[in-house]
Structure 1
Amino acid sequence: MKQTHPLPVHHSWALYERERHFELGQVHGYDSLDSLPDGVNVLGEAGFARARPGKWECDLDDNNRLSWSGEVYDIFGIPRGAALVRDETAALYCEGSRAAMEKLRAYAIKHRRGFTLDVEIQPAQASRRWMRLIAAPLCVDDRVVKLQGLKFRVPTG
């Protein structure tokens, strides 16, 4: 059964706005993701349930090699530490969400911009759910070498 997300988010932002949207290791004023106690509400006034963000990275110079924290594995219903292939994990995004994610991803790489997007996923071995994806390119000179960011489950009502 398809779940309806109450307040979907979808936008691109300039890298100079990075700290406004997120900084790896900081979400809504917390000093470090590692020091966040379980259940801290990182979604602010939006009223979403408590969530623990997961860190992720996609190395564009290394054939789109993915690195995920344990929380991201959990969101996708994949055993922690399992080998990751980007095409296989992208296939877990529901069709409309995958198309939006791929479009914003390409735009982020081409124009060196971050983005925030709520996507619906069909995890392996679990029911459909919504996830907030926050991404920012890591640049060397004028070239994007990685995308990195946060992912967290967005409960629906």
Structure 2
Amino acid sequence: METAVRKLFERYENLFNRSLGNDVNMDEVASLYASDFIAASPAGVMTGKNDDQLKQAMEQGYARYRAIGTKEMRIRDISISPIDEYHCLAHVAWTAIYAREDRPNVAIDFDVHYLVQKLSDEAKVFGWVSGDEQALLKKHGIG
């Protein structure tokens, strides 16, 4: 399980960074996710399907990240808490690098906790829990 989860997040990091350069295939990004998912943050809880609506929302999200100056998303650490032989919680520590016009780049550390399922050889995200991204960005003068 651990190898498959680490491979999943290597792909996740790679695809995210490619998207910041506007070089990404949304089908590839969608392949990281299970057919259905749940997301929770201080903004609330939502559920969704891995469909064209998700791809469109993700494309808009990447455009927003580019617009606020996101230059790189880097994984600092991954720790895995097994749930059973098919599921785990992956605690991913990220660092986001933002470029600002008249000031030095800023690095912001944050964590996201992903629910991951591995039914065959490939692990997929079926949920995530994150903090208040907007408040964190505002605190650092981004966005």
Category of TM-score, reference length = shorter chain: 0.3 to 0.5
**Whose RCO is larger (CA < 8 A, sep 6+)?**
1
Give the TM-score normalised by structure 2: 0.34
Q: Which has the higher strand share?
A: 2
> Normalising by the residue count of structure 1, what TM-score does the alignment of the two structures yield?
0.32
